[in-house]
Structure 1
Amino acid sequence: MTNEKAIHSQRMAGWLIYNGHKLIKICDNKRQPGFNIFIFADTHSLRTDMEQYQPRNTV
């Protein structure tokens, strides 16, 4: 059984997929209806790529 990491940002999830990370599943966000939660395997490379991710609107 692998550990999982939940990502709430659709943009970050897309960026992680683009960088080769496999999406395990998509769940409905029960706290914010109309939004999704993206589940990835929690690996060292995923964490590294998450740290390198920069949202577009950041200066």
Structure 2
Amino acid sequence: MTSPEEALQQARATYEEHARTCRQCHFDAVPCPVSKHLLRAYNNARREQMRANSGVR
């Protein structure tokens, strides 16, 4: 199981890589469904890290 910090870094890297390489996201400036999913995963990882840092479960 990965730590919240590792999950956050991985989700961010995956989202940013997709945004750079996806034709629709990069050139059309319109987020594709995959981009929306990856951003949601990144936001969830960020929330989880904030919970872990605050000690609240």
TM range (shorter): 0.3 to 0.5
Scaled by the length of structure 2, the TM-score of the pair is: 0.32
Higher share in strand = 1
Scaled by the length of structure 1, the TM-score of the pair is: 0.31
Higher share in helix = 2
